[in-house]
C-alpha cells in the first residue's frame, strides 16, 4: 500500500515540510509506504503526470500557513490554489484525500468544506492517523471515535474532540525526505535550518495568535534524549544548523533549561548552532546563561510592544519590566538576541510606535517591525471584530471586508489612528538605522475599495459575487 504526501506551498526560499516526517512515520507504523512531493520543487504538470501514472491508496496534504505573515498591498491566500490541487487529485485518483497541518487547524471544518477533501486532522493528527487507516482499509472502529478527525457526516462537517494530552511528547523518526534540498548553512533564515520540535503547545493568550488553536494550550515536552536523537540524525548527514520549531522555546522554561544543560554537558555546543523564538514571560537568568553555552546562534524575543497599555491590548502575559529583565540577562551573559514588535493593534498611535522604537534605540539588537495583524475567527481579536458589526464599516480593517463575515479570507487589523502614510513613517526608522527592519513594502494605506477588498488587491482567485456598488477608485483608475 502506498500514499502520496504532498506539501502544496511554493516557498521562496524553500522551506522543509517537517510535518511530512511525522505523517510518514505514522503511515510506516501502519505498514504503508510513502512518496513525498513538494510543489516548491515540482511543477503542477509534473504532479499531474505523477497522479496519472501512479496508483495511490491515499493522499495527504499538509497546509502549513494561510498567509505570508507580512501585510502588503498584494494579498496572499493559498487555499484557492490548494483547492485546484485537490480537484486535480480527485480527477485522477480514486482514493481518500486527507488534509492537516497548522494552517488547516485554524479553521478545520471550514477549510475541509472549501477544499472538498475527504478527511482532515487538526493539531497533532499524526497520532490519530493510524486509527483512520484502520477504519478505511480494515473496517475497524468508528469515525466518531477518532480523535482530532474532521469529516463529513450527513452532508455536514463534524470535528471530533482531541486526545487527552499527556505531558510527554512522543519521539519522531526523521529522514523521510531529503533535507539537503533545503539546508544552506550559516544563513540566518530559519527556513534554511533543519527544524526540530522540543515541545508543543502555547499557554499564552495573545489576542491575535492562532498557536493555541494549532498546537493546543497544554505544553507537551519531548524528552531531551529524544530531541537529541533527531539532532544526531541531522548531524550524521552533515547538517549542523537548527531551528527550534516550538511556539516559544521557554513556554516551559524548566524543560528549556534541562535541554540546554544536557547539550552543554554532552558538548553539543561544539557540534551545532541553533535558533529559537522566545517570550519575555518566564525568561530566567539561567536560561540566558545557558544559551551561548549550549550552541545558540541567536534567539528572537517576541516583545510584542513595550508600553504596558499596548501589551495589555495585545493580550500579552508580560510587562515592560519582564522585557527589561530579558534584555539585561542576555546582555550580561553575551547571549545573542533579536526582537520583534507587533504594531498596528487596538489603541496603536504614531506616538505609541515612536515610544516603542525609542525604547530600543540604546539597546544593541535588531528589531523586526511587523505592521498589520491578520484577524482570525478563533482568536479574541477575531471575536471582537465580528461583534463590532459589518466588516466594511470597521475603519481598522483592510483586506476582504465584504462577503467575508466568517473571516475565512484575509482581513488585517491596522489601527485607524495611524493614517495612510504609516508605512512611510516606519520607513523613516528603517532607512536611517540598521537596527530596525521590516519585510513590508512601502505603500500608502488608502481606504480605496477594490471590489470586496479595502486598501489592497488579492493575488488569488477570490470567491463570492462581486457587488459593483462596493467598487471605488481614484480618478486615474479605470474599471472596464
* Cα Rg of the chain (Å, integer): 23
Measured over the CA atoms of residue 68, residue 72, residue 74 and residue 77, the dihedral's sign is: positive
Structure confidence by residue, pLDDT tens digits, 405-436: 999 999 999 999 999 999 999 998 888 888 99
Mean pLDDT of 371-390: 97
State the average pLDDT for the chain: 91
Determine the length of the chain. Answer: 480
Is the link from the previous residue into 67 a cis peptide, with omega within 30 of 0?
no
Helix or strand run (H / E) with residue 374: strand 373-374
Q: Are 282 and 250 in contact (CB under 8 A)?
A: yes
Q: Exposed (0-12), middle (13-18) or buried (19+): which is 301, by Cβ within 10 Å?
A: buried
The pLDDT value given to residue 96:
98
Mean pLDDT of 168-175: 93
Structure confidence by residue, pLDDT tens digits, 200-225: 999 999 999 999 999 999 999 999 99
Residue among 366, 283, 295 nearest 332 (CA): 283
The domains located in the chain, with CATH, are 2-159 (3.40.50.2300), 186-470 (3.80.30.20)
- pLDDT tier for residue 131 given thresholds of 50, 70 and 90: very high
pTM, entire model: 0.92
The pLDDT value given to residue 70:
80
Contacts of 454 (CB under 8 A, 6+ apart): 392, 397, 398, 399, 401, 447, 448
- Kindly list the strands in the beta sheet with 453-454, ordered across the sheet, starting from the edge strand earlier in the chain: 373-374, 411-413, 397-400, 453-454, 449-450
Q: Provide the β-strand partners of residue 340.
A: 302, 368
Q: Kindly report the backbone phi and psi dihedral angles of residue 199, in degrees, each rounded to the nearest multiple of 5, phi listed first.
A: -160, 160
Amino acid at each position: 500500500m502506498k500514499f502520496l504526501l504532498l506539501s502544496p506551498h511554493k516557498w521562496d526560499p524553500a522551506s522543509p515540510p517537517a510535518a511530512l516526517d511525522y505523517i510518514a512515520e505514522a503511515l510506516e507504523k501502519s505498514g504503508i509506504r510513502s512518496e513525498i512531493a513538494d510543489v516548491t520543487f515540482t511543477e503542477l504538470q509534473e504532479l499531474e503526470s505523477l497522479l496519472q501514472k501512479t496508483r495511490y491508496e491515499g493522499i495527504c496534504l499538509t497546509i502549513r500557513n494561510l498567509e505570508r505573515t507580512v501585510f502588503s498591498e498584494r494579498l496572499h491566500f493559498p487555499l484557492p490554489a490548494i483547492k485546484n490541487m485537490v480537484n486535480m487529485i480527485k480527477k485522477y485518483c480514486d482514493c481518500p484525500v486527507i488534509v492537516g497541518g497548522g494552517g488547516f487547524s485554524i479553521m478545520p471544518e471550514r477549510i475541509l468544506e472549501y477544499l472538498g477533501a475527504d478527511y482532515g486532522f487538526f493539531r497533532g493528527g499524526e497520532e490519530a492517523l493510524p486509527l483512520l487507516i484502520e477504519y478505511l482499509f480494515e473496517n475497524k472502529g468508528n469515525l466518531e471515535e477518532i480523535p482530532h478527525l474532521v469529516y463529513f457526516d450527513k452532508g455536514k462537517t463534524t470535528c471530533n474532540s482531541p486526545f487527552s494530552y499527556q505531558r510527554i511528547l512522543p519521539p519522531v523518526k526523521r529522514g523521510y525526505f531529503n533535507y539537503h534540498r533545503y539546508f544552506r548553512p550559516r544563513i540566518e533564515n530559519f527556513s534554511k535550518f533543519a527544524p526540530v520540535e522540543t515541545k508543543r503547545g502555547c499557554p499564552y493568550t495573545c489576542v491575535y495568535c492562532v498557536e493555541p488553536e494549532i498546537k493546543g494550550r497544554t505544553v507537551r515536552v519531548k524528552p531531551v534524549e529524544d530531541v537529541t536523537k533527531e539532532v544526531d540524525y541531522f548531524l550524521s548527514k552533515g547538517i549542523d544548523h537548527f531551528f527550534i520549531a516550538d511556539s516559544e522555546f521557554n513556554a516551559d522554561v524548566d524543560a528549556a533549561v534541562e535541554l540546554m544543560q544536557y547539550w552543554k554537558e554532552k558538548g553539543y555546543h561544539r557540534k551545532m548552532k541553533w535558533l529559537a523564538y522566545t517570550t519575555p514571560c518566564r525568561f530566567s537568568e539561567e536560561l540566558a546563561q545557558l544559551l551561548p553555552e549550549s550552541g545558540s546562534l541567536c534567539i528572537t524575543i517576541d516583545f510584542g510592544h513595550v508600553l504596558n497599555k499596548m501589551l495589555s491590548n495585545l493580550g500579552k502575559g508580560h510587562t515592560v519590566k519582564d522585557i527589561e529583565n530579558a534584555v539585561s540577562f542576555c546582555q550580561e551573559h553575551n547571549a545573542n538576541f533579536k526582537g520583534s514588535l507587533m504594531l498596528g493593534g487596538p489603541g496603536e498611535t504614531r506616538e505609541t510606535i515612536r515610544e516603542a522604537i525609542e525604547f530600543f534605540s540604546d539597546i544593541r539588537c535588531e528589531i523586526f517591525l511587523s505592521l498589520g495583524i491578520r484577524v482570525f475567527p478563533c482568536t479574541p481579536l477575531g471575536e471582537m471584530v465580528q461583534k463590532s458589526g459589518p466588516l466594511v464599516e470597521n475603519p481598522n480593517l483592510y483586506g476582504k471586508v465584504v462577503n467575508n463575515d466568517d473571516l475565512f479570507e484575509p482581513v488585517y487589523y491596522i489601527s485607524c489612528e495611524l493614517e495612510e502614510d504609516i508605512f512611510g513613517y516606519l520607513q523613516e526608522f528603517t532607512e536611517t538605522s540598521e537596527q530596525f527592519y521590516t519585510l513590508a513594502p512601502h505603500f500608502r494605506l488608502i481606504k480605496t475599495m477594490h471590489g470586496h477588498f479595502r486598501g489592497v488587491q488579492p493575488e488569488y482567485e477570490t470567491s463570492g459575487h462581486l457587488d459593483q456598488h462596493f467598487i471605488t477608485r481614484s480618478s486615474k483608475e479605470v474599471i472596464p
